[in-house]
Structure 1
Amino acid sequence: MMNLKVGILLAVSLFAVCSADSCSNNRCGTFDLNAYDCQCNGECIYHGNCCSDYSTLCDPDATCSGRTCYNGHDTGKPCQCNDYCVQYKDCCPDFPAACDGSNVVESCAGRCGPGTDTGASCQCNSYCLKYGDCCSDYSELCESGGGGTSTTNPGSGTSCSSVSVSDSEIVAVSYNLWSMDVNAAGPNDVTYDLQSSTTTGATNDAAPGPFFTYVNEAVFQRTTFQKLRAIQDNYIRKQGFTEDVTAQEEQENSDFLDAVLSTEIGQYLYEFLDSKNLAGCNGIEGFKQLLNVIWFGMYDRSAPDDTSGFEHSFVGEIKGSKVSGFHNWMYFYYEEQYGNFNYQGYISQQEPNMVGMRHTWYEAPKSMNGFTIGTSPEIELALYTLCYLTRPGSLCTINLSDEFGEAVERKIQTWTWGGEQAQGYPKYIASAYFLT
């Protein structure tokens, strides 16, 4: 077995500072991956690319100097010098030099979740049982019910109790998921024109031109975009008509979920939720079945089986004379191209590329809607699912990153359908969307 001290020093080398450049010349607070090998903004601690003089020139608190190593979490400091800073990616830049790893506690306290902690001699993820390297308290801390809820797998007869998920875990996991979105549109792939601002109570068209001015449609040839696009024409636009889900459409749903779960985002989401017994408790196929039920399960809004959480969120519906749902930017783009969607002005805008707006769809109005522009289908589904399974029917605080790599706090609202129970799983998703 690897010497513990050597192991943790190898692990924290991932967070080692860059020495090729400096934070001098007024670089504190700046971020430029093209011009510099190391950075001088607050996020360099998380990404492990702070310049060697970052703490000296930019943030005197970002150091282990003068602090007791492995002495718990210090909420008053921007970085940590404790046992778990490697796992949570918040070690101070000088952690490897200042702390020698001699006091590492081999425990799962605060460590239950996906991923391998290379700085520890024992693990606390769902695979440690397979590889025989679980910490001694893994079963007690990571597999116990912790006052959670019991979920049952359809057809299996098995059940497991969920483990509570802290707000800080949701923030950390959402930030990690966002950083994995390699299929997102690049900065030159999408341009849009906000034109004039408007209000939710207005009725005039404050934006005579289209919202999108350019989209590189090659982005939509990426697998998850293709699989999503194949599903978006499977639904009746108006509520009140029973949906006839064909075998082909069921296969398209399955293909989409397979594509999402094959991405790094899908795998990471599964591992985290599985570590909390929130992924169906029956392997990756059980998680896929869970996603299929909560997202694609049909339920009654205005008629028997006339809607699903997926249709509401990733496509949209017309309820009476107004638009309901409709939160996916790719569908927005195509519907605008076809002349079905009329952008009427923006209400809010915030990083990263989030726009709140007023619009019509087939002339039916929506006084306020929000979109994240350029995101991949897998990140949208993952973040919505993360929030729904950990904070169902409520506001969920997440962390994303802006164009400069800085963490930004955002919120997702999910709603559960209050009617039929989804076969022992959590209730069907009624809606999920970013608050913009």
Structure 2
Amino acid sequence: MGHSPTPADAHMTPQEKKSSLSLASIFALRMLGLFVILPVFAVYARHLPGGESEFLVGLTLGIYGLTQGILQIPFGVASDRYGRTPVIIAGLLIFAAGSFLAALGDTIWTVMLGRALQGAGAISAAVTAFISDSVRERVITKAMAFVGASIGLTFALSLVIAPPLTELVGVSGLFVMTGVLALLAVLVVKFVVPPAPKSAETEAGEHQPWQKVLFEPQLLRLNIGIFVLHAVLTAVFVVVPTRLESMGLPVLHHWYIYLPAVLVGFAAMMKPIGWAERNRKVTVLVRRTIVLMGVVFALMIFLMHSVWEIAFLLALFFACFNILEATLPGMISRAAPKADKGLALGIYNTTQNIGLFVGGAAGGAVSQHFSAEAVFGLATFAMLLWLVSARGLSEPASKTHRAGEALTV
């Protein structure tokens, strides 16, 4: 029998909250280990044989994203066929092994190999698919918001704690910490995360050809979206740190700007997401947020002349970014064939990593040959192209309530 949405449906059950929060904590533990390296690695690498090459230092930092992008789809497909939990645990163990290898590295090449092995533990698709399996479609966006919030807050926290931790244990100690955090995440998966409802398995159905999943129009539009979102993120952060430094704010104090901006952005995203879920207007929210982010980039062309202007615009940027980062995975999960969520989310995460690479390369090239304002102009144009693509998005159809699922009482 069909299930008509009620106000209670918009609230997460205790089981759904536990699943979402525990799986988000896996992201947080893993991402903290990655982010905490970023503010300090370039300085540390200069003391390693081969670390005098800026290219090798950049490659060492970026190779993680390369192996992530390559292996997201295989890990996602494996989670569809062999189960989410074993694939996630295997990925975390690979990530931990890479962390310990990087900690032992006494040359830039060994550390690079460790970073590549870290990226080979590509579990993002499997974790987001697990979240999608564990909650009702009416609250998927809220569940994904926990993941987005955990990543954003972890990024902000890493900017604050990285310098003092480095003074205490050194960068090799930070790599050891990343490995330990990954092993703790294995324990969370094993003993804290509730199993997904049986109905998630019985309703899965037949697997689709990968080409059909890749080129399905709704999924393709969403993949274009995540590519643009992460491309503009890295492009903008190629130029924002140098702009802050030119205004007399040392790199070690940039978190004075980033942390409040991330926290404001996190707080600002909750109300719009709740409204969109209750009223089944997630696509409306996405399109409006794309427009607002485009306006923010346009303002950056003219209003990046003081620290306060940058702080204000970054707060708006993170509010938009967090909304889109939270809504897009849920929309992918709803649009994907049930048997191929892992594949669809693998493609999504691969596209995301390609966007990070392309955005960084394009932002650097445009900034070097033109100006920072040209980077913001390019980001504005990218948002316009995304808006044209997003006009074809449709709200996911309401589906029947899964048997055996509890509602909030």
TM-score bracket, normalised by the shorter chain, equals under 0.3
Question: Which structure would you say has the larger RCO, counting Cα contacts within 8 Å and 6 or more residues apart?
Answer: 2
Give the TM-score of the pair, scaled to structure 2: 0.24
Q: Which has the larger radius of gyration?
A: 1
Give the TM-score of the pair, scaled to structure 1: 0.23
Larger strand proportion of the pair: 1
Larger helix proportion of the pair: 2
